[in-house]
Amino acid sequence: MSRNRAAAMPSTGQLAGHQPLPEPLWFTVLGPVRAWRGDAEIDLGAPQQRAVLALLLVRAGQPAGIAEIVDTVWGQDPPATAVNAVHRSIGLLRRALQPELTARDSGRWVVRSAGGYRLDVDADTVDLLRFRRLMTQARTAIADGRPAAAQLAQALELWQGPIADGIGADVRCQPVFTAVEREYLAAARAAADLATATGEIETLLPAVEQAADRAPLDEPLQARLILMLAASGHQAAALDRYQAVRGRLADELGVDPGAELSAARDEVLRPPSPQLPPARAPEPAATVAPAQLPADLSTFIGRESELAEALALHSGDTGAPTTVVIGAIGGMAGIGKTTLAVHWAHRVAHRYPDGQLYVNLRGFGPDAQVMDPGEAIRRILETFEVPPARIPADLDARAALYRSTLAGRRMLILLDNARDTAQVRPLLPGAATCLVLVTSRDRLPGLIASDGAHPITLDLLSTDEARQLLVRRLGADRVAAEPEAVEEMITHCARLPLALAIVAAHAATRPQLSLEALAEELRDTGSRLDLLTTGDAHTDVRAVFSWSYRSLTPPAARLFRLLGLHPGPDISALAAASLAALPARGVQPVLAELERAGLVTEHLHGRYTLHDLLRTYAADLATTDETGEQRRAAVGRTLDHYLHISYGANRVLNPVRTPIALAAPQPEVVLQPPTDYPQAIDWFATEHAVLLASIDHAAAHGFDAAAWQLAWTLTDFQQLRGLFDNEIAAQLVAVAATERLGEVTMRAYAHGRLAYAHTRLGRFDGARTHLDLALDLQRETGDAAGQAYVQLNLGMLAERQGRHTEALGHARQALDLFLLADHRRGQANALSAIGWLHAQLGDDRQARTACRQALAVFQELDDRSGQASTWDSLGYAHHQLGEHAEAINCYQQCLELIRELGDRHGEATALTHLGDTHQAMGAPDLAGKVWQAALEILDDLGHPDAAAVRVRLDG
């Protein structure tokens, strides 16, 4: 056993109350990322896998979403294959932790959870969780007046270096890791404070000194260490430490020591005072124990994870400071910040016997009268019966008196509805025995950065939580009687607690009204906010939203209104700039203001979203405050942004495709198109849902050219990803738009794309209908190449239906037409199809000849997609001839190209064929692994081809 592991891993005897399992696992992340099975260290693989494991470890048994893993491991510039790389890393980690697993097993430790992955661990398995458990035990002991030095020393000794050491500084600097480092420093400061207060310096000095060496610029920790050294009789070492820190501050930061560090030096230099008898403690003043918390709602439901996080903060499980911000990030209007804060406060109020204070700071409200912090302090001081004459007029002096009044008291302070950090900071007590809860629509970044506040993100209720809310207010029988109406009500209220409460109130006051009737009233988006009113400004959705809106500067208010015109579901900063005709650099501060006001959420880096009801509210404002011309111009700029970037990205994906002509974009449109293949794939993947919505949006608002052109730009990406249902939806809009415009050629193209998608999905009747329409239109235009592509599609349809001879006839007709049109790429496509069909008919030698001819043309044109498809056909021909080694080589060539292209359906097809060849060679285990990989892709795509692969695996 290594020395580091011996220091980090608890012995079986240490794990009191737990029976040791055979070959137990032990993970470390407080230092290098390592794992052991019994006494043997596990090879965790490449740094990328270690980074994924490190994130799961610091998540401490909570799930990490795929997007979070990608953002953490790759930062702002992930590769196009990042998601696949995550899945591969998870699979490799699972097999490293449990070598007996097969490729199909998920194993015991890394499990799927909440759309991501979770490491199923506890404090007997991970050093971080053990550290937190020891810190909790120490805090409990301190509160009860029991010794705690040993537990603090054990907790600090678990740290063997910087968090997740060895996985790369760019990953370790992510907030999820730096937050754990702050826990370490907070624990070291707490140990130093305890040592100084109790005299247990020798027990804790080595751990505190080690922490100070790792954080040489942390002045509060260095000051505490200096005092510990002096108190243990090492004045010279204390002064040497001060001089070293002073020099480092000057060299690295260009600053002098702060007040705390200077005070520590002065304390070391101060001569000892003569021993005097202890002064008699003054008689305590009359005790006031206020109990100001609002009533806890009897209908409170859900919020289990947020409440657990909050209670963990209170009990010290995360080592976080006692100042906590609720809803600082996700705290939009009506989300339930106050409800959760009040419920939490009631749950822990008994731990604060000196009282509970509640102040509504009126940061956002109907009268716009924000409470001055000095006025809030005055009211609190009056609660403690401080005479008015003793309350200073100056804010700083008043805040000092407030802190003095609370010194030594165990108080809970709920500061509700704060406007910003400046309003809250004077209300923070100095006593560590106080718990402060703050709610705000503002993110309060200053409070988090400078005052150690811990943000708790409040999101919308889950569907189950929303249903339970209605059950609590309407009764289980009434909700159970109309389940479909209940689901619709939840959807239309967008799971916003305030909206659901209002709808429940409408239903409760009208018991004769069916829930279906109420759901029908909510269906009308235009009048939905009218229904969500109560006559009370504090519980009217539109009024509550307006409090945040009125706080905005004019540029932010305008952008918010225009966001109501965006098709959604989210928007990038550049698209927002185009929407509002703002420069790229000028939009970021405006978005930040909207986020601080709780009106938008940056749910992914650089991408913003609005709650559905906020979107409706914004659209209402746009209708009343923007002219029709202004609204149309904003929609046009947005469509120009998406169309021109999408077109540029498509040209990167498929540079040999016949181009189309676009009108010039409006001058205010911001364009930053992708410049290489991975960027293009990543852009399409990120914007895909927005692009689909934009196609419908364009058609609905009279931008028919943009509608079919956007559909045109999406075809290659959707084919690569196997998104054929999306392709059908887009091309149906394109058919209608081109018909309105009289664009015969592009209408024929759209019918052809519809036929192709229907064929790939096995919907053969629909495919034939669209092919007949496409062929009629192409003949009307006299376009030989267009007719040839329809013939290729007819051949693919016949082949899918098992009519291979008929399919070969269509492919030959296509080749003749392509030769007539002198269309080289089309000729290669036809030759590739002819080769594949010869292989299907058993004429494998002709198949190889045609495929090699096609491959030569595709290589000449640098058409990688065509090359990949032809390598697959050539591999199939070799397989049929029993030339298995040659077949495997062809499939590997195909897979290399296809993975570069990101063609997931094509990858699954090639893997299926590769598995067939391995099976034919007598390697069933290898075939099973390859088929399993294909099945995972097809299942992820929801593709019907999955059934055939599953039969291979089951057979």
> Residue 910: pLDDT band by 50, 70, 90 thresholds?
very high
Dist. CA 630–CA 902, nearest whole Å: 40
Calculate mean pLDDT across residues 379-401: 81
User: What is the pLDDT at residue 20?
Assistant: 40
The pLDDT value recorded for residue 643 is: 97
- Same domain for 63 and 84, yes or no, is yes
DSSP string spanning 82-95? HHHHHHHHHHHHHH
CATH number at residue 172: 1.25.40.10
Could you tell me the strand order of the sheet in which 110-113 lies? Answer: 64-65, 116-119, 110-113
The pLDDT assigned to 247 comes to 87
**Which residues lie closer than 8 Å to 74 by C-beta, 6 or more apart?**
82
Domain span at residue 700? 627-719
In the predicted model, what is the mean pLDDT of residues 154-159?
A: 89
The model scores a pTM over 0.75: no
67 and 199 both lie in a single domain: no
Mean pLDDT over 765-784 rounds to 92
Residue 670: per-residue pLDDT: 94
Do residues 600 and 508 both lie within one domain?
A: no
Indicate the range of 68-82, 764-778, 884-898 predicted with least confidence. 68-82
pLDDT value, residue 101: 61
Alpha-carbon span 380 to 953, nearest angstrom: 71
- The amino acid occupying position 322 is T
Residue 905 covered by a domain: no
Same domain, 181 and 242: yes
Domain end, chosen from 657, 684, 719, is at 719
Residue 186 included in any domain:
yes
List Cβ neighbours of 908 (8 Å cut-off, separation of 6 or more).
722, 934, 935, 937, 938, 941, 943, 945, 949
pLDDT for 579 beyond 60: yes
379 belongs to a structural domain:
yes
The residue with greater pLDDT, 704 or 523, is 704
Between 17 and 832, the more confident residue is 832
Asked which of 428-442, 501-515, 580-594, 685-699 is least confident by mean pLDDT, the reply is 501-515
Q: What are the residues facing 198 on neighbouring strands?
A: none
pLDDT at 834 > cutoff 50: yes
What is the mean pLDDT of the segment spanning 440-456?
68
Measuring CA to CA, which residue among 114, 933, 98 is closest to residue 106? 98
pLDDT at position 941 is 73
Alpha carbons 832 and 874: distance in angstroms, whole number? 9
The answer to whether 311 touches 439, Cβ cutoff 8 Å, is no
Q: How confident is the model at residue 299, as a pLDDT?
A: 58
Same domain, 317 and 187: no
Residue 931 — pLDDT band, cuts 50, 70, 90? very high
The answer to whether 594 touches 548, Cβ cutoff 8 Å, is no
Are the CB atoms for 92 and 49 separated by under 8 Å?
Answer: yes
Residue 352 exposure: Cα atoms within 13 Å on the Cβ side: 31
> What pLDDT was estimated at residue 216?
86
Please say which residue of 508, 541, 574 terminates a domain: 541
41 pairs with which residues across the strands? 36
Highest averaged pLDDT of the listed ranges 44-48, 429-433, 878-882: 878-882
> Residue 382 domain-assigned?
yes
Q: Is residue 469 part of a domain?
A: yes
Partner residues linked to 326 by β-bridges: 439, 456
**Rounded to whole angstroms, how far apart are CA atoms 82 and 87?**
9
pLDDT confidence of residue 918: 93
Which of 147-156, 518-527, 722-731 is the least confident region? 518-527
**279 has pLDDT over 90:** no
DSSP output for 881-924: TT-HHHHHHHHHHHHHHHHHHT-HHHHHHHHHHHHHHHHHTT-H
Per the prediction, the chain carries an average pLDDT of: 81
Residue 57 and residue 119 in one domain: yes
Q: What whole-number distance in Å separates Cα of residue 105 and Cα of residue 126?
A: 23
Helices (H), 475-583: 476-481, 483-492, 497-509, 515-523, 525-531, 541-550, 554-563, 573-580
Predicted confidence (pLDDT) at residue 599 exceeds the cutoff of 80: no
Residue 437's DSSP bridge partners are: 324, 414
Which CA distances in Å does 409 have to 215, 311, 402, 662, 802? 32, 20, 12, 71, 83
- Contact residues for 778 (Cβ-Cβ < 8 A; gap 6+): 748, 786, 787, 790
| Mean pLDDT of all residues in 679-698 | 92
User: Confidence class of residue 98 from pLDDT cuts 50, 70 and 90?
Assistant: confident
Q: How do residues 846-878 score in pLDDT, each as one tens digit?
A: 888 999 999 999 898 888 888 998 999 889 888
pLDDT band at 452 (very low <50, low <70, confident <90, very high): low
Asked whether residue 828 is domain-assigned, the answer is no
pLDDT digits (tens, 9 = 90+) for 409-441: 788 888 887 878 888 888 888 766 788 888 887
- Residue type at position 168: G
Number of domains composing the chain: 7
Most confident of 427-436, 598-607, 796-805: 796-805
- Within 10 angstroms of residue 507's Cβ, the number of other Cβ atoms is 21
Structural domain includes residue 480: yes
Using pLDDT thresholds of 50, 70 and 90, give the confidence band for residue 738. Answer: very high
pLDDT tens, 282-305? 333 334 678 888 777 655 666 666
- The 3-class SS string of 603-651 reads EECCEEECCHHHHHHHHHHHHHHCCHHHHHHHHHHHHHHHHHHHHHHHH
Q: Does 611 share its domain with 637?
A: no
Q: How many CB atoms lie within 10 A of CB 536?
A: 10
- Which residues are CB-neighbours of 666 under 8 A, at least 6 positions away? 633, 636, 637, 640
Is residue 624 over pLDDT 70?
yes
Residue 55, CA distances (Å) to 44, 92, 465, 608, 629 in order: 14, 16, 28, 24, 49
Can you tell me the distance from the alpha carbon of 524 to that of 517, in angstroms, rounded to the nearest whole number? 12
321 and 449, same domain (yes or no): yes
Q: What is the CATH number of the domain that holds 85?
A: 1.10.10.10
Same domain flag for 467 and 448:
no
Q: What is the pLDDT, as a whole number, of residue 684?
A: 93
| Mean local confidence (pLDDT), 764-782 | 92
Q: What is the per-residue pLDDT for 548?
A: 67
Question: Which of 522, 579, 561 minimizes the C-alpha distance to 694?
Answer: 579
Same domain, 308 and 447: yes
Question: What pLDDT shows up at residue 278?
Answer: 43
pLDDT of residue 136 exceeding 80, the answer is no
Q: Report which listed range, 123-132, 484-493, 778-787, is most confident.
A: 778-787
pLDDT top residue among 598 and 831: 831
As a dihedral over the C-alpha atoms of residue 792, residue 793, residue 794, residue 796, rounded to 10 degrees, the angle is 90
Q: Clarify whether residues 396 and 471 are in a common domain.
A: no
> Is residue 311 assigned to a domain?
yes
Residues 138 and 264 in one domain: yes
pLDDT at 182 over 80: no
Q: What is residue 80's DSSP assignment?
A: T
The alpha carbon of 495 is separated from its chain's Cα centroid by a whole number of angstroms, namely 19
Out of 207-216, 260-269, 534-543, 682-691, which region has the weakest mean confidence (pLDDT)? Answer: 534-543
Long-range contacts of 385-392 (CB under 8 A, 24+ apart): 385/286, 385/288
Query: What is the per-residue pLDDT for 3?
Result: 32
Give the sign of the dihedral formed by CA 758, CA 760, CA 764, CA 770: positive
Among 89, 123, 157, identify where a domain stops: 123
pLDDT of amino acid 119:
82
Question: Which of 833, 733, 828 is CA-nearest to residue 793?
Answer: 833
Given a cut of 50, whether residue 898 has pLDDT beyond it is yes
Q: Who has greater pLDDT, 648 or 107?
A: 648
Does 682 score more than 50 pLDDT?
A: yes
pLDDT at 587: 92
Lowest pLDDT segment from 217-231, 385-399, 655-669: 385-399
Pick 151 or 691 by higher pLDDT.
Answer: 691
Average pLDDT in the 748-758 region? 94
Q: Per-residue pLDDT for 356 more than 80?
A: yes
Q: Residue 337: is its pLDDT beyond 90?
A: no
Would the pLDDT of 466 be above 50? yes
Under the banding of pLDDT at 50, 70 and 90, the label for residue 1 is: very low
Residue predicted with more confidence, 311 or 639: 639
pLDDT higher at 22 or 378 = 378
pLDDT above 70 (res 793) = yes
Predicted confidence band of residue 500 (pLDDT cuts 50, 70, 90): confident
Question: Which pLDDT does position 865 carry in this prediction?
Answer: 85
pLDDT at residue 371 greater than cutoff 90? no
